[in-house]
Structure 1
Amino acid sequence: MKKQITSLLVFSALVLAAPSIQANTTPLNSSGNSTSAVASQIDLNTATVTELQRLPGVGISKAKAIVEYRDTKGPFVEVAELTEVKGIGDKMLRKIEDRVFVVK
């Protein structure tokens, strides 16, 4: 019994002395954003139909509509411009706005 208590105390001391794991260890890019978040975002001005389909609620027809809009009207100036694409309203924009960006 004494050996078990001693073992538990030693184990507890080791666990408590171990360095804590930081909650956010994602590296940041030069603009202060996490690189993984930036990597997972999609540029509306260069994205393919396949890439756009990875967005929540965007199927092949909406993805094609985004590309057609871009081909017809020119590059997106801001993400909010997506609401001008047929089938994308404010509700859809709120779903995907944190997953897309445009380069200005």
Structure 2
Amino acid sequence: MKKETARMIKTAAAGIVMLAAVICYNVEWKGSGDTAQFHLTALQEETAEEGTDALAPAGVENHSPEYAGNTGDSERDNGAGRIFVHVCGEVAAPGVYEMKEGSRIYQAVEMAGGLTENAAGDFLNMAGKLEDGMKVQIPDREEAVQWSREAAAYPGISAGADGGAVTSKINLNTAVKEQLMTLKGIGEARAEAIIAYRQEYGPFARIEDIMEVPGIKEAAFQKIKEDITV
């Protein structure tokens, strides 16, 4: 009887020891898990506060994308606010140049590399405003003298005291090529077409008749109607 009681006590004691061990193990495991969870949560919060750079490798910076486009480029794509002018004669680099609307003649000359040594730079009004399709021809000194004589011979053009811009109306029936080329949008080809037309069909009866010339339509006429006469 005593032996049986002692065996039961030992069994119960062993069970208590095992139960205590299991309880300690669970407490330790759960505690470790909570600690790991705590560290992970803290790391996430710290990362959120510092931004994505905290997760980037050392020495690597995180930049937002930058765009090269701007309003000027959009205007260039649309063609808005842009004009094309032909700069020729006594300039370093004759050619067709794209410029901002409202630009002046001197700016077109600068775009073309500036005046040559033979240029009569004071013949034109360098402060004159450019128009789309305009031809800017810089004469040399001999041409400037010749053009001034022609201006004096034909009442349709005035060189001005300072050798500047045209100030009076161009007579379509008497103007020479160089005089016609001073009109907005009238280049060498159109000037020659005007002369060829009047030689074939006779003098213009009214300024609107210039629209009968090949290559000159309503838009071109609107640009020059205030500067021409018959």
TM-score when normalising by structure 1: 0.60
Matched, 1:95 2:223: yes
Give how far 1:85 is off.
Answer: 0.2
Aligned residue identity for 2:175: A
Matched, 1:55 2:55: no
Structure 1 residue corresponding to 2:210, chosen from 82, 89, 92: 82
Give per-residue Cα distances to partners, 1:21-46, cap 9 Å, x unaligned.
Answer: xxxxxxxxxxxxxxxxxx51000000
Say which SS state the counterpart of residue 183 (structure 2) adopts.
Answer: coil
Pairing of 1:36-47 with structure 2 (within 5 A): 40-47=168-175
CA distance in 1, matches of 2:189, 2:180: 10
Structure 1 residue corresponding to 2:193, chosen from 53, 56, 65: 65
Say which SS state the counterpart of residue 40 (structure 1) adopts.
Answer: coil
Give how far 1:78 is off.
Answer: 0.3
Give per-residue Cα distances to partners, 1:47-77, cap 9 Å, x unaligned.
Answer: 0000000000000000000000000000000
Unaligned runs of at least 5 residues, structure 2: 1-166
Say which SS state the counterpart of residue 185 (structure 2) adopts.
Answer: coil
TM-score when normalising by structure 2: 0.28
Calculate the aligned-residue CA RMSD, in Å. 1.3
Aligned residue identity for 1:53: M
Larger RCO (CA under 8 A, 6+ residues apart): 1
CA distance in 2, matches of 1:98, 1:87: 19
CA distance in 2, matches of 1:87, 1:95: 14
Please tell me whether Structure 1 or Structure 2 has the larger radius of gyration of its CA atoms: 2
CA distance in 2, matches of 1:56, 1:73: 24
**Pairs aligned (count):** 65
CA distance in 2, matches of 1:97, 1:67: 17
Identity within the alignment, %:
39
